[in-house]
């Protein structure tokens, strides 16, 4: 018996990274999952891995008709929709506003906000009727950048703050029928798509930025109280909790901050317990 036995979920941008980890965990918890991504190869991999528990659709979160098509597909194939995870996201390579060319500012804004904000709203609009019918859950993948500066550039930070507002407003608008919650991961070893406005790779395609260059582990560990640079799987349980009818039944408008403890960083020290193991046991642990 899993926490999501018999549930039907949609996970957008689920072909890789945190989305893929959520798909894998939802299936392990007993759910059937419709996964969307722009990369058909990744979707085929998930279908092969999970068999009849997963069906993949190439779909663009920025288009209302694609969101509607995905919801219809879930109902046609699995009979209902209980959970919608608005996970598709776009980064900005930590680009500061002074470094964005004047003729690229509007494009950069539109490309980031179209996925990180409009994509969430369109997914909500497409899914709300079926989620009311099932008394289901709407979940948004936020970020530590929904609360703190410098986890990205101005476009990413502002878009993730806006997505937090969506969670709070929809939590109000849809109560008591649909629970609306979010998970806000911190630094995670995953790739994120970058808008064309911030450049193309050598093949003329949008860049997928690696958020884990060679020095990333030490850098992220240095600034997080739990001294951790997360894998996507480290956040998956939080997505299960807010999706569960039994375990998350009293939660709406809630954000689980799965970020290594950024909210308890000190002014003098990142973490206060670096020497605790040595003090008790005589070694560094």
Catalytic residue list:
156
Measured distance CA(6)–CA(72) in Å, rounded: 18
Number of Cβ atoms within 10 Å of the Cβ of 129: 11
Residue 19 to residue 38: CA distance in whole angstroms: 13
User: For residue 146, what are the contacts with CB-CB under 8 A and spacing of at least 6?
Assistant: 160, 161, 163, 164, 182, 184, 255
Q: Are 142 and 164 in contact (CB under 8 A)?
A: yes
Output the DSSP codes for 175-234.
TTTSEEEEEEE-SBS-EEE--GGG-B-TTSSB-EEES--TTHHHHHHHHSTT---B-GGG
Tokens of 232: 């996507």
Please report which helix (H) or strand (E) contains residue 54, including its range.
strand 54-58
CB 159 within 8 A of CB 112: yes
Helix axes 119-134, 64-78, angle to 10 degrees: 30
Nearest to 36, CA basis, from 7, 71, 81, 8:
71
């Amino acid at each position: 018996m899993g926490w999501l036995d018999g549930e039907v979920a949609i996970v957008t941008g689920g072909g890789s990274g945190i989305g893929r980890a959520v798909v894998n965990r939802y299936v392990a918890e007993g759910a059937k999952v419709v996964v969307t991504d722009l990369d058909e190869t990744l979707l085929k991999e998930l279908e092969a891995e999970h068999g009849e528990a997963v069906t993949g659709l190439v779909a663009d979160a920025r288009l209302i008709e694609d969101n509607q098509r995905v919801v219809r597909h879930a109902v046609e194939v699995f009979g209902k929709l209980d959970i919608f995870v608005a996970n598709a996201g776009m980064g900005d390579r930590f680009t500061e506003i002074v470094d964005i060319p004047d003729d690229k500012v509007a494009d950069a804004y539109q490309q980031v906000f179209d996925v990180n904000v409009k994509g969430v709203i369109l997914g909500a609009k497409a899914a709300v009727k079926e989620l009311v019918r099932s008394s289901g859950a709407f979940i948004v993948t936020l970020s530590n950048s929904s609360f703190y500066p410098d986890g990205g550039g101005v476009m990413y930070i502002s878009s993730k703050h806006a997505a937090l507002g969506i969670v709070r407003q929809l939590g109000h608008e849809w109560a008591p029928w649909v629970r609306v919650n979010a998970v806000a991961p911190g630094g995670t070893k995953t790739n994120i798509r970058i808008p064309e406005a911030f450049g193309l790779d050598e093949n003329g395609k949008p860049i997928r930025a690696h958020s884990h260059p060679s020095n990333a582990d030490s850098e992220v560990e240095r600034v997080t109280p739990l001294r951790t640079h997360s894998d996507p799987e480290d956040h998956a349980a939080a997505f299960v909790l807010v999706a569960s009818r039994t375990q998350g039944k009293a939660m709406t408008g809630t954000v689980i901050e799965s970020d290594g403890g950024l909210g308890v960083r000190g002014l003098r020290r990142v973490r206060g317990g670096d020497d605790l193991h040595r003090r008790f046991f005589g070694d560094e642990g």
